[in-house]
Structure 1
Amino acid sequence: MSSTSESFTARLQHVATQPNASRLATYERLISELLQQPSSELNREDLLGAASAYLRYAVFSEQNSTGGGLVIGRQALTVLEQHAGRIAEGYESRRRDKDRMQDDEDGGIPAIADRDTRRQLLENALDQLQPRVISFEEQASSLRMQLASLLEAEEDWNEAARVLLAVPLDSGHRNVSDHLKLSIYVRIVRLLLEGDDPVAADMYLKRASMIIHNVPGALPSQYRQQQQEEGQAAAGSAPSSTAGEDAQGDAQEAGTGAAASGLKYRLEDPKLLGLQYRLSQARVYDSQRRFSKAAIRYHELSYVAEIDEDDRAMMLSAAVTAAILSPAGPQRARTLAMLMRDERAPSLPQYTILSKVFLDRVIRPDEIASFEKLLSPHQIAELAPASASGTSMAATTTEGARGNKSIRHAPSTVLDRAMIEHNVLSASRLYDNITLAGLGALVDLSPTGAEDIARRMIMQGRLKGWIDQVDDSSTRSGGGVLFFIDQERRGEGETTAGGLEATKVESSGGDGSASGGATAESGPGGSAGTGDVDTKWTRRWDQQIAQVTRALEDVCQRINQISAASILSTAKGIVA
């Protein structure tokens, strides 16, 4: 032990002989003098040694950690934490001031101003505190939040989140307001997202969603009812009015308890917490590839006036990207229409591909490559490889024997899947039907892979059509035809690509089908609507057959006429 630590320890032991009324003031004076000493007089090792002695003799001594002296020990630990934070923050602000930096280069900066030293001091305090954490629970929480702030400043996101996760919020030994809980949960979610752990972030986001409706002013009115219903369904919470009153009461009680122990939590404004929660929610949806929900959340935030204009532009850009990557179908169509009506959209770099997706145009490879440069890593992440069936393997072997390039059986990335599904949907606007081989050539997949994509979209209700699986084993080319149900845009608002809906057949026979006593043939589901659709397509098929038959008859008549004229001219020549 150095002479400084020995001298400081001796002074602490002398203070222990003083009465309770004067001990705390002496402890505060000693720790203030210790932390303010410049590094030229008190280096890092000596400071950490003296701080450890302070914890041992002033905080966790038998005299100050049991019985009536426990109050002295708690307040002594609070004094250490507050003075360390205040001195370090003061020199941090001075370090940012270029005019004062020249005055601080002579070694006059205290060792506690160094982040590594302060971090080590806080970690040592938490280690010594661990066996007595129940008696010093509130002080331990304050130390952890201060340590998390240091780690966050060093961009050690996952470690900062781990420190905050250890803060006891439901221990039963103290009253913690929902406002403070929400602040910590939202902060944990943000740190986990920065640390690229969306799964854990989603778990704590759900915890925040259970209590956010108890914090008045955290969410706008349109969100409050939705969040309250989700919270009641998950935990059976009380109505929002009662919950809001309880939250205010909890906050007052927590504030009173903090003031009594000398601690003051700097709680963020509820509206700011609500914005951070909503942004975290959008980022979680985006990270989990739930792009439809992410696009809606980002677009809502892009209209919040309290957010900086540049940040709102970034959120609008994120909304456009998420909408383009979302599964092709009616829901994406509505989101695209909403974004296209936004007057700020033409200024975005994604506007060209946005307009093409909106208009159901086929996206070309060069356009996809340009769009890919604007995406985040998780938006172009590789998908799990799909297992190839026997038919798919045969198709690949045949194509390889012909000397053509290899054919893929499934999308390879998140972007690839989104663009393939969009192009399948675009094909439904161009054709009444298309062979699976032709569809595969359009989307750069094997016929079997194109069939899998189309079948999945039909099953999920994102594409209206049916597949005629023709047996074409002789060519092994994936025989089959994909028929698209007539996709007519109905209404003024349904003018976007992908806004597909099944043909609506009115019971009054508006499309020529019989009504009243007539009975439509039911489809597999046994519903009248399905039968009407099948009947309509049967009539259309009959009309096409009739047109081909008439054209064939015309050709035959012309051939007969030409043949008769030729025979007649030959006969006239012979007679002449």
Structure 2
Amino acid sequence: MSNEIAAQLSALFRSDTLDTVESSAQAANKYIMDKLNLENNQDANAQCQTLAAIVDACVDEQLPQTISTAVLGELITMMSQSASELSQEVRQKTLEHLLCKVQQRTSAFETAIIEARQALADILVADEKWEEAAQQLQGIRLEQSQRSYTNEQVFKLYITTVELFLKADRFDQAVKAQSRAAALLIHVKDVELVNRYRYVQARISDLSQKYIDAANTYYAIFQTDLKNAAKQTNALERAIKCAVLASAGPQKMRIMTALYREKLASSLSCFGFLEKMVLKRLIKPDELQQFSEQLEEHQQSLLADGKTTILEHAVREHNIFMLSSLYSNIKFENLGLMLGVDSEDAEQMCARMIAESRMKGRIDQVDGVVTFEGAREVKEMSAAIFLKSQVAAQPPPMHFRESIAAKWDERIVKLCTAVEDSVDLLIERQPVYTKMLFRSADV
């Protein structure tokens, strides 16, 4: 059958009327439609056989290259039309057969291969076969093509491939495809394409539990994608969640403070949790549970100990960070009661935060006490303010704002000292009651 088709095509394209690309395409289209004989309602198998025979005839080296290219190009165009009278199954099988047949002549049919893979990927996406679609796009090598493609065309192909691998939960393949796109990022000026890259970059950082990087990237998307309000809101919400899940420290506080200042943030359901972290307030178990329900499945995974979630770990570190600004020192036993963990876990968390320079302090393992350097600095500042107030000489003139800030610093120090003394006294005189109090606070 393929020999008969090859002869018919040769005769058709010898006509003097086919002197332009448009007329050749029209002739090829009419020929394919006539062979399919759609008016007689051929079944799917018959249509597949007819189209396969046309492909076989075009791939045969006896048929001139110009004819093969024109017919295959028109056939691929027909297969890529979702509104076509042909079923999705027929279009998919035809494209798969075409790609299989041209493997031995890739240089001759380079354009046809690229277009066929893209058309097949679109069909697979419509059927939600994300990984298979991504593999088809991954097989396209525009950078090695004989034709010239712009950096943005190549970049768009890579980004689409990454997006499909992420939908298929193929993280490892997504990372490889993303690294190829990263090399071209500097040459891309299209803001929409750059934001698509940033989104997959943030998604990969999120899945890798690099939450600071993810939060910063989502925040960058929020600041640049100004045309789409829904995408802006989504990016800001994701940035907040990733910032909350990040390990406690100065970097986390910086990004959370920036997010907290955004007007849109106050309208989000996760804002209350963010506010407590920014204002260094103790987070209770019920608040933790409410926030965890808003997280995605991969963000609720357990740590290496098999019992602590990422959020629970982040909240405990936050509570330690918050307590370090209130207490000069605290026993690990009491710290564990406040955090809902035993004293050994409390000590390990403090040691890790100090070792990673996320918190200033020193540990006395003999007495089971951690001393927070930040609190000591506040006391030293308080002592300096007190000594300065005792000096009889007239103090040097201060700017109005500086004088107000100094007064507030003094009042804050006095308040923190009073609270600390009260808690220490309560622990010393009523240890049983204090233990019950801390337990009730965790419920």
- TM-score of the aligned structures, taking structure 2 as reference length: 0.78
Q: Which residue of 2 aligns with 1:82?
A: 77
Q: 1:313 to 1:382 in 2, by over 3 A?
A: same
Q: Does 1:187 align with 2:160?
A: yes
The unaligned stretches of length 5 or more in structure 1 are 1-5, 92-109, 218-269, 387-410, 471-478, 489-501, 513-576
| Structure 2 equivalent of residue 160 of structure 1 | 133
Q: Secondary structure at the match of 1:273?
A: helix
Q: Trace 1:162-241 onto structure 2 (pairs within 5 A).
A: 162-171=135-144, 173-215=146-188, 217=189
CA deviation profile, 1:203-241 (whole Å, cap 9, x unmatched): 3222212112223x2xxxxxxxxxxxxxxxxxxxxxxxx
Greater Cα radius of gyration, structure 1 or 2: 1
Aligned partner of 1:14 in structure 2 is 8
* Structure 1 equivalent of residue 202 of structure 2: 282
Quick one: which amino acid aligns to residue 32 of structure 2? I
- Report the Cα offset of residue 30 of structure 1: 0.9
Tell me the SS of whatever aligns to 1:434. strand
Alpha-carbon separation, structure 1, partners of 2:225 and 2:211: 24
Which structure shows the bigger proportion of residues in helix conformation? 2
8 Å contact 2:121–2:133 — kept in the other structure?
yes
**Equivalent of 2:216, from 291, 296, 305?**
296
Question: 2:143–2:154: 8 Å Cα contact kept in structure 1?
Answer: no
Q: Structure 2: how far apart are the matches of 1:451 and 1:35?
A: 76
> Which residue does 2:261 correspond to in 1?
341
Q: Tell me the CA shift for residue 118 of structure 1.
A: 1.3
Distance 1:19 1:151 in 2: 34
1:330 is matched by which residue type in structure 2? Answer: P
Q: Which residue of 1 aligns with 2:438?
A: none
CA deviation after TM superposition for structure 1 residue 19, in Å? 6.1
Counterpart in 1 of 2:308?
A: 412
Hey, what does 2:390 align to over in structure 1? none
Unmatched 5+ residue regions in structure 2? 19-23, 388-443
- Which of 330, 334, 351 aligns to 1:434? It is 330
Letter of the structure 2 residue corresponding to residue 56 of structure 1: D
Amino acid in the other structure paired with 2:53: A
| CA positional deviation for 1:151 | 1.2
Note the alpha carbon deviations across 1:497-550, whole angstroms, 9 max, x for none: xxxxx78999xx9999xxxxxxxxxxxxxxxxxxxxxxxxxxxxxxxxxxxxxx
- Give, in angstroms, the shift of residue 174 of structure 1: 3.9
Match of 1:451 in 2: 347
Cα separation, 2, equivalents of 1:382 and 1:177:
44
Question: Are the counterparts in 2 of residues 198 and 288 from structure 1 also a CA contact under 8 Å?
Answer: no
- Which residue in the other structure is 1:482 paired with? 370
Q: Name the CA distance, whole Å, in 2 between partners of 1:486 and 1:211.
A: 45
Query: Once the 2 structures are TM-superposed, how far is the Cα of residue 440 of structure 1 from its aligned partner?
Result: 2.1
Whether 1:271 aligns to 2:152 is no
Cα shift at 1:299: 2.0
Distance 1:181 1:11, change over 3 A: closer
Partner of 1:61: 60
SS in 2 for 1:483: strand
> Alignment partner of 1:170: what SS?
helix
SS class of match (1:16): helix
Moved more, 124-133 or 16-25: 16-25
Q: Paired residue for 1:46?
A: 46
Per-residue Cα deviation, 1:237-273 (whole angstroms, up to 9, x for no partner): xxxxxxxxxxxxxxxxxxxxxxxxxxxxxxxxx3321
Q: Give the CA RMSD over aligned residues.
A: 2.8
What letter corresponds to residue 61 of structure 2 in structure 1?
Answer: E
Deviation per CA, 1:431-484, whole angstroms, max 9, x where unpaired?
Answer: 2111122222222223222222111111111111010111xxxxxxxx611110
For residue 363 of structure 2, give the secondary structure of its aligned residue in structure 1: strand
SS in 1 for 2:224: coil
* 2:5 and 2:53 in contact (8 A); partners too: no
**Would you say 1:30 and 2:19 are equivalent positions?**
no
CA distance in 2, matches of 1:76, 1:11: 11
Cα pair distance change 1:383/1:156, threshold 3 Å? same
CA-CA distance at 1:413 after TM superposition = 1.7
Instruction: For 1:289-328, list aligned pairs within 5 A.
Output: 289-304=209-224, 306-328=226-248
Q: How does 1:440-519 map to 2 (within 5 A)?
A: 440-470=336-366, 480-487=368-375
Taking a change above 3 Å as real, the CA distance of residues 331 and 141 of structure 1, as seen in their structure-2 partners, is: same
Is 2:281 the partner of 1:361? yes
2:420 pairs with 1:425: no
Change (3 A) 1:190 1:209: same
- Residue of structure 2 in register with 1:73 after alignment: 68
Within-5 A mapping of 1:252-263: none
8 Å contact kept, 2:131–2:164: yes
Which residue, 83, 93, 106 being the options, matches 1:120?
Answer: 93
Between the aligned partners of 1:52 and 1:21, the Cα distance in structure 2 is: 25
Percent identity, please.
28
Hey, what's the Cα distance between the residues in 2 that align with 1:36 and 1:369?
Answer: 63
Contact 1:505 1:511 in 2 (8 A): no
Q: Mapping of 1:138-157 within 5 angstroms?
A: 138-157=111-130
Cα deviation, 1:407-430, whole Å, max 9, x if unaligned, reads xxxx62211221121121122123
The AA in structure 1 aligned to 2:152 is: H
3-state SS in 2 of match to 1:89: coil
Which of 361-370 and 278-287 deviates more?
Answer: 278-287
